[in-house]
């Protein structure tokens, strides 16, 4: 499998932009560990350090080069302030490269402003157009209605409950499976160059 490209030009709708991660982002990413919401709903560990963030960046780049994932920073399109993260993965890159899985997170100051909806919409639309994906799915904890709302606003359909799907603090946890097809994506944001 060949490496996945970064979006060129950078994806932006004039409010949010998606760009590759930079070494200087490590301190902001480490700060996410102080946010109980991110620790609860994402893979960010409570003891996340700048060193761990830099090591994760190396792993993310290896995944991109192997054709398995593209991870991008969500930033303010004007100021460049880091707001969060989003990624598109190929859960079965070898046997089904047209299947994608999206993930996202936002820092506390970016929540409740439509930023995740804009960012995920940009990334999913690009994934359909440039990566040839034919289905993009997402897994959301049943107690996380805000993330479910982001997906529903973009036209993702709730397809079912995956019982004991992922490991969690108290054992295996359920996830709701959402998915969208290219013709179902609602109002893909207009792409502009930043």
pLDDT for the residue 189:
52
Q: How far apart are CA 57 and CA 114, in angstroms?
A: 26
Q: How far apart are CA 125 and CA 100, in angstroms?
A: 12
pLDDT-derived band at 194, boundaries 50, 70, 90: very low
pLDDT for the residue 27:
84
- In this structure, is residue 162 part of a structural domain? yes
Q: Which of 20-24, 155-159, 168-172 has the lowest mean pLDDT?
A: 168-172
pLDDT-derived band at 88, boundaries 50, 70, 90: very high
- In this structure, is residue 4 part of a structural domain? no
Average pLDDT over residues 24-41: 78
pLDDT-derived band at 119, boundaries 50, 70, 90: very high
- In this structure, is residue 190 part of a structural domain? no
Q: Residue 145 is part of which domain span?
A: 11-184
Q: Is pLDDT above 60 for 169? A: yes
Report how far apart, in Å, the C-alpha atoms of 135 and of each of 7, 17, 33 are.
Answer: 19, 23, 31
Number of domain units in the chain: 1
Please tell me the pTM assigned to this model.
0.90
Count of other CB atoms within 10 angstroms of residue 34: 12
Average pLDDT over residues 139-157: 94
Residue 46 is part of a domain; what is its CATH number? 3.40.630.30
- In this structure, is residue 2 part of a structural domain? no
CB 8 within 8 A of CB 193: no
- In this structure, is residue 192 part of a structural domain? no
- In this structure, is residue 191 part of a structural domain? no
């Amino acid at each position: 499998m060949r490496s996945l490209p970064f979006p060129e030009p950078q994806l932006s709708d004039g409010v949010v932009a998606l760009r590759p991660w930079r070494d200087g982002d490590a301190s902001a990413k480490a700060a996410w560990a102080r946010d109980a919401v991110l620790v609860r709903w994402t893979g960010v560990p409570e003891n996340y350090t700048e060193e761990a963030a830099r090591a994760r960046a190396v792993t993310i780049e290896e995944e991109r080069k192997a054709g398995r994932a593209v991870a991008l920073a969500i930033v303010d399109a004007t100021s460049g302030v880091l707001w969060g993260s989003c990624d598109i993965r190929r859960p079965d890159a070898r046997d089904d490269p047209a299947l994608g899985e999206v993930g996202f997170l936002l820092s506390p100051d970016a929540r409740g402003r439509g930023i995740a909806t804009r960012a995920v919409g940009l990334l999913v639309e690009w994934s359909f157009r440039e990566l040839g994906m034919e289905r993009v799915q997402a897994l959301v904890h049943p107690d996380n209605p805000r993330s479910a709302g982001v997906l529903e606003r973009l036209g993702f359909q709730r397809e079912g409950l995956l019982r004991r799907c992922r490991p969690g603090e108290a054992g295996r946890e359920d996830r709701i499976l959402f998915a969208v097809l290219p013709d179902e994506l609602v109002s893909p944001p207009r792409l502009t160059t930043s």
